[in-house]
Chains A and B, each alone.
Chain A
């Protein structure tokens, strides 16, 4: 902490000493009275205590005891397979290719059932369509046969009726012709008898 944090107070420099408990009891008591009357220094003291508490949480690190060059093998970081792999461009590229290939395989493996389902569905639908078409064709053929039979029967009936009517007409004409000739004959016979 510096005086810049609380430049208005002339006793700001003693705050750090107070926080690290480096003052004499008299100075310490004087500072405590000052904190009670100076809100800026009291706030600075609180911030300083928080920082101190945070630093105390960090572990202690030993200072290296010898100096070494960067080129020393001793200073080379211990490279595990992961770090070696991560620091190698070709390996990383190969791994990326493998991941991509695996992704493709995975995607295709998971897409295939859908395709198969579609194909199976299509096959099943095709089978149903074929069955329906066969049924429709059969029905159409049967209907056509029935219609043909009906038409044929109607035509035969019409021909029979026409033939029957023609025969009836011929019969009537023959009967009329017979009556005609009979009348002529009777008249001739009667005339001969009268004479």
Chain B
């Protein structure tokens, strides 16, 4: 079925983009039909955001062509994209909180040195848009006073006001409550009915099925499938999204479970705006098992780790670690958690796990600097720390074996190994791990995973959070899936299959 080029609002041909050695987008060709809502789905790292950023002029493609309304165009800056009628609503809004809606709308397009005229024009435009698209926002409200859903509407209005006929939304529901998401989808439908072309980037299949006509599935930088939404199912999409993964065969010994060392009961975390970051989380991790938490990032996994490690205080519910009960009224701090025997390998290596400007030897005692044998009589024992670090480096194959080198001079994989070494070397009872192999080279990946399994064999209760499903599948004895702050499914490793997990990760009920 050859469609006329004239019907394509956007066409991308053979787009390639690499960041260093990482090929983020490989030879992607897609057509977006005018006046439709097209969805682009994929897991983390699939390349969907990068592709759209190229379309919007934030990045330049290494190869390939972009056609808008059938004409080839050069996209070097967002201004070019705006000029062609393309508007993007980012995940992180670019609004000035202290301004009113109108002021935010005219910023950059004031229409003259005095504001009065521009404001009046925007006001009437806003009224028109409200009539035509049902996008009602109080023009004189301060953005800081608006709900997140309303703020997002302002972002959409901003883009429409600049004359955009093509709207790209990047994970718009990430910051919205379910009700606000429904309202957003309604707005998208109205926009489509009025002839606006919408591209919706998301990992939530429910949204795809609700509003799109066509869905493009991306995986590892490539387009793996295109389907008419009406002709596909959630199951098919989930499977395409997640694919048949090759497992890293780790030859795990059969599980020897011990007592429960970490248990959460109805744990919840609500932020200042009332968003439920964690919603009624209950889980158990026993000694000698690895529990893996799968899910696309942004569904509460980071917050769960923060609460369990003591960095953040839960707002509701409780959890118990190594015999100590922690809840909102009885908080704990990370130092106490370490005393209890809970170690934590954080998700963000460079911001939390180490201080790039510190020496490797200093990094090797981060969080433990006031304990023996590093510290006697309130003084740090330099030689002892150096020896300890050298020891760790030896055992965990950190290269180069130089405790006196600055932490930032180690490769990502070696940094991660050092952090892992630090947390595992003290034989913790519970080990919390976030994204253990993010940004790590192949050789180190295998090493790290083997060490985690070794720890589990030695009786440690390990909780691993990872956005790489394949990693969870190879490491975990039991798999939990998080979506929108809750645990939406639990599967034993032997019985897990990608399709089911993919469905759970995408927020659709398991069949």
Does A associate with B in a complex?
A: no
By a beta-carbon cutoff of 8 Å, the part of chain B in contact with chain A is none
